[in-house]
């Protein structure tokens, strides 16, 4: 999944934001469960970007 920038997120309507947020959370939980099973994260940079993107989406949703 591509990391979204703030401008791209602001262009989305509310329904798209909820859908994207669900996708991002599902992907993050998948990475989290893999890292818990193996003991070390597969790609810590990807996990960090997912967390930041989720926070970005939530922040913009609150702005609206």
| Integer CA distances (angstroms), 7 to 3, 12, 26, 30, 41, in order | 12, 9, 23, 26, 29
Segment of 21-25, 29-33, 36-40 carrying the highest mean pLDDT? 21-25
d(CA 7, CA 46): 20
Longest distance between any two alpha carbons in the chain, whole Å = 39
Q: Mean pLDDT, to the nearest integer, of 22-42? A: 88
Range of the domain at 56: 6-63
pLDDT at res. 41: 75
How confident is the prediction for the chain on average, in pLDDT?
Answer: 90
pTM more than 0.95: no
Q: Which CATH number goes with the domain that contains 31?
A: 1.10.287.310
Q: Is the pLDDT of residue 54 over 90?
A: yes
- The answer to whether residue 51 sits within a structural domain is yes
- The answer to whether residue 16 sits within a structural domain is yes
- The answer to whether residue 1 sits within a structural domain is no
How many separate domains does the chain show? 1
């Amino acid at each position: 999944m591509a990391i979204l920038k703030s401008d791209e997120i602001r262009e989305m309507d509310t329904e798209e934001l909820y859908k994207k947020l669900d996708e991002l959370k599902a992907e993050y939980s998948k990475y989290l469960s893999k890292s818990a099973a193996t003991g070390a994260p597969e790609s810590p940079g990807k996990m960090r970007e997912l967390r930041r993107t989720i926070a970005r989406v939530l922040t913009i949703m609150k702005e609206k």
